[in-house]
Amino acid sequence: MFDHFAFVAPIYDKIIRFLNIEKLKQLLELPIDGRLLDAGGGTGRVSSQLKPWVDGVVVSDLSRSMLKQAGNKRDLLPVQAHAEKLPFADESFERVLVVDALHHFCDQEQALADLLRVLKPGGKLVIEEPDINQFIVKILIAVEKLLLLRSRFLSPEQIADIMKAKGFSARIESDGGIISWITVGKEL
Ligand SMILES: C[S@@+](CC[C@H](N)C(=O)[O-])C[C@H]1O[C@@H](n2cnc3c(N)ncnc32)[C@H](O)[C@@H]1O
Protein backbone atom coordinates (compact mmCIF):
# COMPACT_ATOMS: atom_id res chain seq x y z
CA MET A 1 0.00 0.00 0.00
CA PHE A 2 1.26 3.50 -0.86
CA ASP A 3 2.71 5.25 2.19
CA HIS A 4 1.91 8.97 2.11
CA PHE A 5 3.88 9.50 5.28
CA ALA A 6 7.17 8.19 3.81
CA PHE A 7 7.85 11.62 2.28
CA VAL A 8 7.32 13.65 5.42
CA ALA A 9 8.69 11.20 7.99
CA PRO A 10 12.22 12.70 8.25
CA ILE A 11 10.83 16.21 8.85
CA TYR A 12 7.53 15.31 10.52
CA ASP A 13 8.52 16.36 14.05
CA LYS A 14 9.78 19.70 12.73
CA ILE A 15 6.63 20.60 10.82
CA ILE A 16 3.96 19.22 13.18
CA ARG A 17 4.46 21.10 16.40
CA PHE A 18 1.06 21.09 18.07
CA LEU A 19 1.09 19.15 21.31
CA ASN A 20 -0.77 19.71 24.57
CA ILE A 21 1.20 17.26 26.66
CA GLU A 22 -0.23 18.44 29.99
CA LYS A 23 -3.76 17.72 28.77
CA LEU A 24 -2.77 14.25 27.58
CA LYS A 25 -1.08 13.56 30.91
CA GLN A 26 -4.23 14.61 32.70
CA LEU A 27 -6.56 12.53 30.50
CA LEU A 28 -4.30 9.47 30.64
CA GLU A 29 -4.02 9.93 34.42
CA LEU A 30 -0.22 9.72 34.38
CA PRO A 31 2.08 8.77 35.97
CA ILE A 32 1.30 5.07 36.13
CA ASP A 33 3.14 1.81 36.66
CA GLY A 34 2.42 0.27 33.30
CA ARG A 35 2.85 0.45 29.56
CA LEU A 36 1.49 2.88 27.00
CA LEU A 37 0.56 1.92 23.44
CA ASP A 38 0.71 4.85 21.00
CA ALA A 39 -1.31 3.50 18.05
CA GLY A 40 -0.79 5.28 14.73
CA GLY A 41 2.00 6.83 16.76
CA GLY A 42 4.19 7.61 13.74
CA THR A 43 7.56 9.06 14.72
CA GLY A 44 6.77 8.81 18.43
CA ARG A 45 6.52 12.62 18.48
CA VAL A 46 3.86 12.46 21.19
CA SER A 47 4.65 9.37 23.21
CA SER A 48 8.35 10.25 23.49
CA GLN A 49 7.16 13.18 25.65
CA LEU A 50 5.11 10.85 27.87
CA LYS A 51 7.94 8.36 28.49
CA PRO A 52 8.95 9.77 31.90
CA TRP A 53 5.45 9.02 33.25
CA VAL A 54 5.08 5.33 32.21
CA ASP A 55 7.14 2.15 32.47
CA GLY A 56 7.36 1.56 28.74
CA VAL A 57 6.11 2.88 25.39
CA VAL A 58 5.21 0.87 22.30
CA VAL A 59 4.66 2.87 19.10
CA SER A 60 2.62 0.97 16.53
CA ASP A 61 2.13 2.30 13.00
CA LEU A 62 1.78 1.16 9.40
CA SER A 63 4.52 3.36 8.00
CA ARG A 64 8.06 1.96 8.15
CA SER A 65 9.48 5.43 7.52
CA MET A 66 7.60 6.97 10.41
CA LEU A 67 8.61 4.07 12.67
CA LYS A 68 12.25 4.48 11.66
CA GLN A 69 12.11 7.93 13.24
CA ALA A 70 10.47 6.47 16.36
CA GLY A 71 13.28 3.90 16.55
CA ASN A 72 15.83 6.74 16.65
CA LYS A 73 14.26 7.98 19.89
CA ARG A 74 15.43 6.47 23.14
CA ASP A 75 13.31 3.83 24.85
CA LEU A 76 10.49 3.67 22.30
CA LEU A 77 9.63 0.25 20.91
CA PRO A 78 8.42 0.59 17.29
CA VAL A 79 6.07 -2.11 15.96
CA GLN A 80 4.75 -2.16 12.40
CA ALA A 81 1.05 -3.01 12.58
CA HIS A 82 -2.41 -2.11 11.37
CA ALA A 83 -4.38 -0.44 14.15
CA GLU A 84 -7.24 -2.67 12.99
CA LYS A 85 -5.25 -5.86 13.74
CA LEU A 86 -2.82 -5.22 16.55
CA PRO A 87 -0.27 -7.99 17.17
CA PHE A 88 -0.70 -7.86 20.95
CA ALA A 89 -2.48 -10.13 23.40
CA ASP A 90 -5.76 -9.08 24.97
CA GLU A 91 -5.37 -6.68 27.91
CA SER A 92 -1.68 -5.89 27.29
CA PHE A 93 -1.54 -2.14 28.00
CA GLU A 94 -2.53 0.08 30.91
CA ARG A 95 -2.92 3.05 28.57
CA VAL A 96 -3.68 3.40 24.87
CA LEU A 97 -3.34 6.66 22.94
CA VAL A 98 -4.25 7.69 19.38
CA VAL A 99 -3.29 11.22 18.31
CA ASP A 100 -4.35 12.66 14.96
CA ALA A 101 -4.46 9.19 13.41
CA LEU A 102 -7.97 7.75 13.77
CA HIS A 103 -9.14 9.54 10.62
CA HIS A 104 -6.35 7.79 8.68
CA PHE A 105 -7.32 4.27 9.77
CA CYS A 106 -9.08 2.27 7.04
CA ASP A 107 -11.65 0.62 9.30
CA GLN A 108 -12.18 2.86 12.28
CA GLU A 109 -14.77 0.66 14.00
CA GLN A 110 -12.45 -2.33 13.81
CA ALA A 111 -9.51 -0.23 15.03
CA LEU A 112 -11.50 1.04 18.02
CA ALA A 113 -12.54 -2.54 18.84
CA ASP A 114 -8.92 -3.71 18.71
CA LEU A 115 -7.65 -0.77 20.77
CA LEU A 116 -10.20 -1.66 23.46
CA ARG A 117 -9.23 -5.32 23.24
CA VAL A 118 -5.58 -4.65 24.08
CA LEU A 119 -6.49 -2.26 26.91
CA LYS A 120 -6.27 -3.69 30.43
CA PRO A 121 -9.27 -3.52 32.75
CA GLY A 122 -8.89 -0.34 34.78
CA GLY A 123 -7.02 1.21 31.84
CA LYS A 124 -7.71 4.29 29.74
CA LEU A 125 -7.97 4.89 26.01
CA VAL A 126 -7.54 8.50 24.85
CA ILE A 127 -8.21 9.60 21.28
CA GLU A 128 -7.21 13.06 20.07
CA GLU A 129 -8.79 14.19 16.80
CA PRO A 130 -9.46 17.43 14.96
CA ASP A 131 -13.06 18.44 15.73
CA ILE A 132 -15.00 18.42 12.45
CA ASN A 133 -17.62 20.66 14.02
CA GLN A 134 -15.07 23.50 13.59
CA PHE A 135 -14.92 25.39 10.29
CA ILE A 136 -11.10 25.40 10.07
CA VAL A 137 -11.12 21.60 10.30
CA LYS A 138 -13.41 21.44 7.27
CA ILE A 139 -10.61 23.25 5.37
CA LEU A 140 -8.10 20.70 6.67
CA ILE A 141 -10.35 17.90 5.41
CA ALA A 142 -10.42 19.51 1.94
CA VAL A 143 -6.60 19.80 1.94
CA GLU A 144 -6.20 16.14 2.91
CA LYS A 145 -8.56 15.22 0.04
CA LEU A 146 -6.39 17.23 -2.39
CA LEU A 147 -3.33 15.35 -1.14
CA LEU A 148 -5.22 12.14 -1.91
CA LEU A 149 -5.04 11.03 1.70
CA ARG A 150 -7.82 8.54 2.32
CA SER A 151 -8.89 10.28 5.50
CA ARG A 152 -12.35 9.77 6.97
CA PHE A 153 -13.10 12.14 9.80
CA LEU A 154 -15.65 11.30 12.47
CA SER A 155 -17.10 13.84 14.87
CA PRO A 156 -16.32 13.37 18.58
CA GLU A 157 -19.98 12.41 19.05
CA GLN A 158 -19.75 9.72 16.34
CA ILE A 159 -16.63 8.28 18.01
CA ALA A 160 -18.40 8.27 21.38
CA ASP A 161 -21.42 6.55 19.78
CA ILE A 162 -19.22 3.78 18.38
CA MET A 163 -17.81 3.27 21.88
CA LYS A 164 -21.32 3.24 23.32
CA ALA A 165 -22.41 0.58 20.82
CA LYS A 166 -19.49 -1.50 22.09
CA GLY A 167 -20.68 -1.07 25.68
CA PHE A 168 -18.23 1.65 26.74
CA SER A 169 -19.10 5.16 27.83
CA ALA A 170 -16.88 7.92 26.46
CA ARG A 171 -16.22 11.44 27.70
CA ILE A 172 -15.73 14.21 25.14
CA GLU A 173 -13.62 17.29 25.81
CA SER A 174 -12.50 20.15 23.61
CA ASP A 175 -9.76 22.75 23.80
CA GLY A 176 -12.34 25.29 22.64
CA GLY A 177 -10.54 25.32 19.29
CA ILE A 178 -9.94 22.56 16.79
CA ILE A 179 -8.92 19.72 19.09
CA SER A 180 -11.24 17.20 20.71
CA TRP A 181 -10.42 14.35 23.04
CA ILE A 182 -12.49 11.23 23.54
CA THR A 183 -11.64 9.26 26.67
CA VAL A 184 -12.82 5.77 27.56
CA GLY A 185 -12.16 4.01 30.83
CA LYS A 186 -12.29 0.20 30.85
CA GLU A 187 -13.91 -1.06 34.01
CA LEU A 188 -12.13 -3.50 36.30
C1 LIG B 1 -0.95 12.29 11.09
S2 LIG B 1 0.09 10.95 11.56
C3 LIG B 1 0.07 11.11 13.33
C4 LIG B 1 1.28 10.49 13.98
C5 LIG B 1 1.37 10.70 15.49
N6 LIG B 1 0.24 10.13 16.18
C7 LIG B 1 1.53 12.16 15.83
O8 LIG B 1 0.55 12.79 16.27
O9 LIG B 1 2.63 12.66 15.66
C10 LIG B 1 -0.97 9.55 11.26
C11 LIG B 1 -0.25 8.21 11.38
O12 LIG B 1 -1.22 7.16 11.25
C13 LIG B 1 -0.56 6.09 10.57
N14 LIG B 1 -1.58 5.17 10.02
C15 LIG B 1 -2.44 5.39 8.99
N16 LIG B 1 -3.26 4.34 8.83
C17 LIG B 1 -2.91 3.42 9.77
C18 LIG B 1 -3.41 2.13 10.14
N19 LIG B 1 -4.43 1.57 9.47
N20 LIG B 1 -2.83 1.49 11.18
C21 LIG B 1 -1.79 2.07 11.85
N22 LIG B 1 -1.29 3.29 11.56
C23 LIG B 1 -1.85 3.96 10.53
C24 LIG B 1 0.29 6.76 9.52
O25 LIG B 1 1.30 5.92 9.03
C26 LIG B 1 0.81 7.97 10.32
O27 LIG B 1 2.04 7.69 10.92
Q: What CATH number does the domain containing 167 carry?
A: 3.40.50.150
pLDDT class of 114 with cuts at 50, 70, 90:
very high
Query: pLDDT tens, 9-52?
Result: 999 999 999 899 999 999 999 999 999 999 999 999 999 999 99
Which atom of ligand 1 approaches the CA of 107 most closely? 19
148 pLDDT higher than 80: no
133 pLDDT higher than 90: no
CA-to-CA dists, residue 71 to 4, 27, 60, 121, 147, angstroms? 19, 26, 11, 29, 27
Q: What is the pLDDT of residue 144?
A: 78
Q: Which of 6, 130, 8 is nearest to 64 (CA)?
A: 6
Instruction: Determine contact, residues 100/42, Cβ cutoff 8 Å.
Output: no
56 pLDDT higher than 80: yes
- Residues whose beta carbon lies within 6 Å of some atom of ligand 1: 5, 16, 40-42, 45-46, 61-63, 66, 82-84, 99-101, 104-106
Segment 161-186 shows an average pLDDT of 96
CA of 28 to the centre of ligand 1 (A): 19
Q: State which residues form the domain around 28.
A: 5-185
Q: Which of 12, 19, 21, 61 to mutate to test the pocket of ligand 1 (most atoms within 8 A of CB)?
A: 61
149 pLDDT higher than 90: no
Q: What is the pLDDT of residue 40?
A: 98
Q: What is the pLDDT of residue 63?
A: 97
Q: Which of 66, 97, 109, 153 to mutate to test the pocket of ligand 1 (most atoms within 8 A of CB)?
A: 66
User: Using CA atoms, how far apart are residues 169 and 80, in angstroms rounded to an integer?
Assistant: 29
Q: What is the pLDDT of residue 185?
A: 96
CA of 107 to the centre of ligand 1 (A): 13
* Structural domains counted in the chain: 1
Give the pairing type, strands 179-185 and 56-61: unpaired
Q: Which of 139, 134, 116, 85 is nearest to 186 (CA)?
A: 116
Question: What percent of the residues of the chain are helix, what percent strand, and what percent coil, each to the nearest 5?
Answer: 35, 25, 40
pTM value is 0.96
